[in-house]
């Protein structure tokens, strides 16, 4: 094999200047044009590093010593959160995090030669910690004791914790109570090497307004010893826990939840409010994890839909109907589609709970239903899409444009697929008509959420 002619070699120690931050939050330095990625390093810093991995086009290095720090560095951070990936941007000031998230979007647009599309400042939180309304925490045995914690990045090293930094503080307290109760009943923690033991994860959800708490104990075995006694103790120690459930996941997998969930005590769901609407949330349903920012996200999406009350609107990827019901308050009729049937059951119930009769929910692939609605002659004035990270398919974009809505409001959790999809919409006669708005749903992490409006240009008007 020909030797790679690279400007660095493995284990080489050198001093580099950080010129950028990758979208995963790694510092980027260039050695004769060859990029090196360095965890924990920030732009403008000068760092002594050791090369740890090289490939043909880029390499990785470990920071050894800082020669110069960035003014954007936060110094009093607990490294466990960086190591476990809970808060990979925690070492950056929040203002710099918000700029970074905006820059991810502008850089992607520039790469696609779309630099004329404007991007607003990222809408951030006042207190960017303790925001998560849901925790899914692994359980393991460390030094003979059942512990809750997190795994180090790319490793099987488990770090016990009782403060998870970005979760609702009450969720952390409930997690610690459940941990102590499981210890008291001598319940065994899961061992992934031997695929033995019982409790794999503890999932806790808490309503931001309702303050109702749900605890789900995820077990490898269908049988959980003392289940009733454990649930009773959890509810007596934490009176705000309305629901204790067991989810069984006996597979050798990284996926957290198994297919089957049963109620041990209390209700099968909790409820919460968003923008004044009530939502029932079950253990398995998707529900946005940052309630305060979700209200901003939905309000901004709704504003951009420009509804007057006469419109027909499609909400593709509707989950439990959170966006659909916000739209239904201001539109004539809303059609929602979602692939998870339990979510559609929740969505229908949520429509009824809120007394909104002008919504139709369908289970299935958004692509298929868009086509069906199109052939049925449904003419949406506005289409809202909120797809998972992989973004939209060509067929969905084609069906959407074929229906000729005035506007498409695109809520995106992945700017890379957003920019790719914008290009397809542009080929089909739609243009980004307002600055893209990033909303920080995930402070301290590298995730970026955006609202984009695509409006029909005159291109289609002659047909
Ligand atoms: N708009 C909702 C949900 C957004 S998350 C909210 O804000 O809460 C994206 C949703 O798309 C998930 O509920 C997921 O189950 C659903 N989904 C994924 N692929 C899909 C597909 N091909 N068709 C329809 N829904 C899909």
Q: Does 275 sit in the ligand 1 pocket, CB within 6 Å?
A: no
Rounded CA separation 70/43 (Å) = 7
Identify the CA nearest to 380 among candidates 337, 424, 334, 426.
334
Place 458 in a pLDDT band, splitting at 50, 70 and 90.
low
- Considering the domain architecture, whether residues 297 and 428 belong to the same structural domain is answered as yes
Q: Decide if 123 is inside a domain.
A: no
Domain co-membership, 434 together with 293 = yes
Please give the average per-residue pLDDT across 320-328, as a whole number.
97
Residue 79 domain flag: no
One domain, residues 28 and 166: no
For the CA of 393, the closest atom of ligand 1 is 22
User: In the predicted model, what is the mean pLDDT of the chain?
Assistant: 95
Instruction: Assess whether pLDDT exceeds 50 at residue 1.
Output: no
Quick: pLDDT tens for 38-59. Answer: 999 999 999 999 999 999 999 9
Radius of gyration of the chain (CA): 24
3-state secondary structure of 461: coil
Q: Which CATH number characterizes residue 200's domain? A: 2.40.50.1070
CA nearest 239: which of 265, 261, 217? Answer: 265
State whether 438 and 299 are in the same domain. yes
Does residue 398 lie in a domain region? yes
**Do 46 and 142 fall into the same domain?**
no
pLDDT at 284: 87
- pLDDT of 4 > 90? The answer is no
Candidates 220, 411, 162, 151; CA nearest to 305 is 411
Residue 317 among known ligand-binding residues: yes
State phi, psi for 352 to the nearest 5 degrees.
-65, -45
Mean pLDDT, range 181-204, rounded to an integer: 97
Same-domain status, 296 and 436: yes
- Euclidean distance between CA atoms 133 and 345, whole angstroms: 22
- Find the CATH number of the domain harbouring 292: 3.40.50.150
| pLDDT more than 70, % of the chain | 98
Q: What is the mean pLDDT of residues 238-261?
A: 96
Position 369 in a domain: yes
378 in any annotated domain: yes
Q: First and final CA of the chain: distance in angstroms?
A: 59
Q: How far is the CA of 455 from the centre of ligand 1 (A)?
A: 23
Ligand 1 lined by 338 (C-beta under 6 Å): yes
d(CA 325, CA 350): 8
**Ligand 1 touching residue 51 (CB < 6 A):** no
Query: Which domain-ending residue is among 31, 52, 73?
Result: 73
pLDDT of residue 20: 96
The verdict on 252 and 314 lying in the same domain is no
Asked whether 202 and 164 are in contact (CB, 8 A), the reply is no
CB atoms within 10 A of CB 292: 14
Confidence band for 342, pLDDT divided at 50, 70 and 90: confident
Domain endpoint, select from 214, 245, 274: 274
**Same domain as 266, residue 311:** no
d(CA 282, CA 285): 6
Which residues lie below 8 Å from residue 6, measured CB to CB, with a gap of 6+? 34, 54, 56, 59
> Does 338 belong to an annotated binding site?
yes
Q: Cα(251) to centroid of ligand 1, in Å?
A: 24
CA of 7 to the centre of ligand 1 (A): 45
Return d(Cα 447, Cα 443) in angstroms, integer: 8
d(CA 248, CA 251): 9
Nearest of 125, 207, 218 to residue 170 by alpha carbon: 207
CATH of the domain at 30: 2.40.50.140
> Is 288 labeled as ligand-binding?
yes
Q: Read off the pLDDT of residues 62-115 as tens digits, 9 standing for 90 and up.
A: 999 999 999 999 998 988 898 888 999 999 999 999 999 999 999 999 999 999
Catalytic residue among 238, 318, 401, 413: 413
Whether residue 179 is contained in a domain is answered as: yes
Q: Would you say 158 and 140 are in contact if contact means Cβ atoms under 8 Å apart?
A: yes
How confident is the model at residue 222, as a pLDDT? Answer: 97
**Residue 121 above 60 pLDDT?**
yes
Ligand 1 pocket, mutate which of 280, 316, 322, 338 (most atoms under 8 A from CB): 338
pLDDT tens per residue, range 228-248: 999 999 999 999 999 999 999
Q: Tell whether residue 427 is among the known ligand binding residues.
A: no
pLDDT digits (tens, 9 = 90+) for 153-186: 888 899 999 999 999 999 999 999 999 999 999 9
- Contact between 449 and 435 under an 8 Å Cβ cutoff? The reply is no
Check whether residue 217 and residue 365 sit in a common domain: no
Q: What is the mean pLDDT of residues 180-202?
A: 97
Q: Is residue 96 part of a domain?
A: no
317 ligand 1 Cβ < 6 A: yes
Model confidence at 339, pLDDT cuts 50, 70, 90, reads very high
Give phi and psi for 171, each to the nearest 5: -65, -40
312-316 and 382-385 beta bridge pairing: parallel
- Do residues 155 and 210 share a domain? yes
Residues 6+ apart with CB under 8 A from 199: 139, 146, 182, 187, 188, 189, 190, 217, 218, 219, 220, 224
Q: Does residue 462 carry a pLDDT above 60? A: no
Residue with the bigger pLDDT between 424 and 285: it is: 424
Instruction: Kindly state the helix (H) or strand (E) to which residue 136 belongs, with its residue range.
Output: strand 134-142
- Domain interval for residue 156: 134-274
Q: And the tokens for 297? A: 């996200």
Could you please report the per-residue DSSP string of 145-162? EEEEEEE-TTS--EEE-S
Q: Could you tell me the distance, in angstroms and rounded to a whole number, from the CA of residue 152 to the centre of ligand 1?
A: 29
Same domain, 293 and 196: no
Locate 175 and state its tokens. Answer: 């997690």
Alpha helices in 329-383 (DSSP H): 341-353, 366-375
Check residue 3 and give its pLDDT. Answer: 59
321 CB near ligand 1 (under 6 Å): no
Concatenate the DSSP letters of all residues of 224-240 into one string: -TTHHHHHHHHHHH-TT
Q: Ligand 1 atom 22: the closest Cα is on which residue?
A: 365
What's the rounded mean pLDDT across residues 269-284?
94
Pick from 337, 339, 393 the residue to mutate for probing ligand 1's pocket: most ligand atoms within 8 Å of its CB: 339
Same domain membership, residue 301 and residue 244: no
Handedness of CA 69, 75, 80, 85 (dihedral sign): negative
Specify the residue for token string 């990936």.
85
Q: Is the CB of 327 within 6 Å of ligand 1?
A: no
Q: Do 34 and 58 touch, CB atoms closer than 8 A?
A: yes
CB contact at 8 A, 120 and 159: no
Show which of 73, 95, 118 is a domain's final residue: 73
Q: 16: closest CA among 52, 61, 75, 56?
A: 61
Ligand 1 within 6 A of 363 CB?
no
Into how many domains does the chain fold? 3
What are the structure tokens assigned to 241, written together? Answer: 């826990």
Let me know if residue 180 belongs to a domain: yes
Is 401 designated active site?
no
Give the residue among 434, 430, 373 at the shortest CA–CA distance from 406.
Answer: 430
Residue 459's pLDDT is 53
Q: Which helix (H) or strand (E) holds 34?
A: strand 34-38
């Amino acid at each position: 094999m020909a030797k790679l002619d690279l400007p660095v070699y493995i284990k080489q120690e050198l001093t580099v200047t950080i010129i950028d931050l990758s979208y995963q939050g790694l510092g980027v330095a260039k050695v004769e044009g060859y990029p090196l990625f360095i965890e924990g390093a920030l732009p403008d810093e000068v760092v002594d590093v050791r090369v740890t991995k090289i490939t043909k086009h880029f390499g990785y290095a470990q920071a050894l010593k800082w020669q110069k720090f960035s003014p954007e560095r936060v110094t009093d951070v607990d490294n466990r959160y960086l190591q476990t990936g809970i808060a990979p941007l925690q070492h950056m000031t929040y203002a710099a995090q918000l700029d970074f998230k905006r820059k991810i979007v502008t850089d992607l647009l520039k790469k696609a030669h779309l630099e004329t599309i404007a991007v607003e400042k990222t809408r951030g939180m006042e207190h960017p910690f303790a925001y998560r309304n849901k925790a899914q925490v692994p359980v393991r045995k460390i030094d003979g004791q059942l512990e809750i914690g997190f795994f180090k990045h790319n490793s099987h090293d488990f770090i016990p914790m009782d403060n998870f930094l970005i979760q609702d503080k009450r969720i952390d307290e409930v997690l610690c109570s459940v941990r102590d109760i499981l210890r008291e009943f001598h319940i065994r923690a899961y061992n992934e090497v031997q695929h033995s033991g019982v409790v794999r994860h503890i999932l806790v959800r808490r309503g931001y307004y309702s303050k109702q708490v749900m605890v789900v104990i995820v077990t490898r075995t269908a049988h959980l010893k003392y289940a009733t006694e454990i649930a009773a103790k959890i509810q007596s120690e934490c009176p705000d826990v309305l629901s204790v459930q067991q989810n069984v996941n006996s597979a050798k997998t990284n996926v957290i939840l198994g297919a089957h969930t049963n109620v041990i005590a209390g209700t099968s769901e909790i409820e919460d409010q968003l923008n004044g609407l009530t939502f029932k949330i079950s253990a398995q349903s998707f529900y946005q994890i940052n309630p305060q920012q979700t209200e901003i996200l939905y309000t901004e999406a709704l504003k951009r839909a420009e509804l007057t009350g006469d419109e027909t609107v499609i909400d593709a990827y509707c989950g439990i109907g959170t966006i659909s019901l916000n739209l239904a308050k201001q539109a004539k009729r809303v059609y929602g589609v979602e692939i998870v049937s339990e979510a559609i059951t929740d969505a229908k119930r949520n429509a009824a709970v809120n007394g909104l009769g002008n919504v139709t929910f369908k289970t299935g692939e958004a692509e298929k239903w868009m086509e069906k609605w199109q052939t049925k002659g449904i003419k949406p004035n506005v289409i809202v899409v909120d797809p998972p990270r992989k973004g939209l398919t060509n067929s969905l974009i084609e069906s959407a444009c074929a229906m000729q809505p005035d506007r498409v409001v695109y809520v995106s959790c992945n700017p890379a697929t957003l920019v790719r999809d914008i290009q397809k919409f542009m080929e089909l006669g739609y243009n980004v008509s307002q600055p893209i708005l990033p909303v920080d749903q995930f402070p301290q992490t590298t995730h970026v959420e955006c609202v984009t409006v695509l409006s029909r240009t005159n291109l289609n008007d002659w047909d």
